[in-house]
Amino acid sequence: MRLGVNIDHVATIRQARRTVEPEPIYAALLVQEALADGITVHLREDRRHIQDQDVYQIKEIIKIPLNLEMSLNEEIVNIALDVKPHQATLVPENRQEITTEGGLDVDQNFDRVKKVVERLHKKGIIVSLFIDPVEWQIEQAKQTGADAIEIHTGSYANAKVDREREIELEKIINAAKYASSLGLHVHAGHGLTYENVKPIAAIKEIEELNIGHSIIAKSVFVGIKEAVRLMRQLIYEARWKLV
Ligand code: PXP
């Protein structure tokens, strides 16, 4: 299972003071040294954390794959086509939200999504769609020609009681199986922490996790390399049981 580390919140600290530190590129280098499989950043339309130059710099300097989270906004799509990240993950975006809320509604935005998938594919970029664990959305995702889906794990992560968490986990397991049966690669992310990652990491069909806030939060106390190592260890323990 690959671990993509989302470093948006390193930029959040920098932007809190509109200064030059901490630098996301330095975080990306340390994440790479910690043997993560990829760097994930979200270039938001409002540029609240990651800035355009961060994306270009990370793409130029970092050797491990860059996964660019992005909306369907034309300006952002054009930047993605210019940067040519290894992978683009299409997400919905609402300026009022604190973080991404809910998956992309592929059904409602089918033509727009399909066109963006085609344009990204022409530049050789792998495309993943961030969607809720719902069969209909998975079928639509497949129809757009996307290579992968990233299952939104937010409802699982936010569940208040065990029963609710079990129900959400079941939805994710079924969605992963279904997407895989359609030939889609399966990723997952959002709200994953050191406490809740293991049941998700134990889902055989999921090939990649993208985790940000929890790793950056822990790195404040233990450093980013140790924070990545601890997360990898939990993923390894969950996967090992599958062998
Ligand atoms: N995956 C996607 C598509 C996201 O939008 C985000 C948040 O930027 C993440 C993963 C990471 O979420 P978190 O910061 O809660 O780990």
Q: Work out the number of other CB atoms within 10 angstroms of the CB of residue 39.
A: 27
Taking only the tens place, the pLDDT of each residue in 56-88 is 999 999 999 999 999 999 999 999 999 999 999
3-state helix, strand, coil in the chain (%, to 5): 50, 15, 35
Catalytic residue selected from 49, 152, 185, 190: 190
The count of domains in the chain is 1
Taking only the tens place, the pLDDT of each residue in 13-57 is 999 999 999 999 999 999 999 999 999 999 999 999 999 999 999
Query: Which CATH number fits the domain that encloses residue 171?
Result: 3.20.20.70
Which of 39, 40, 48 most suits a substitution to test ligand 1, by most atoms within 8 Å of the C-beta? Answer: 40
Domain range holding 51?
2-240
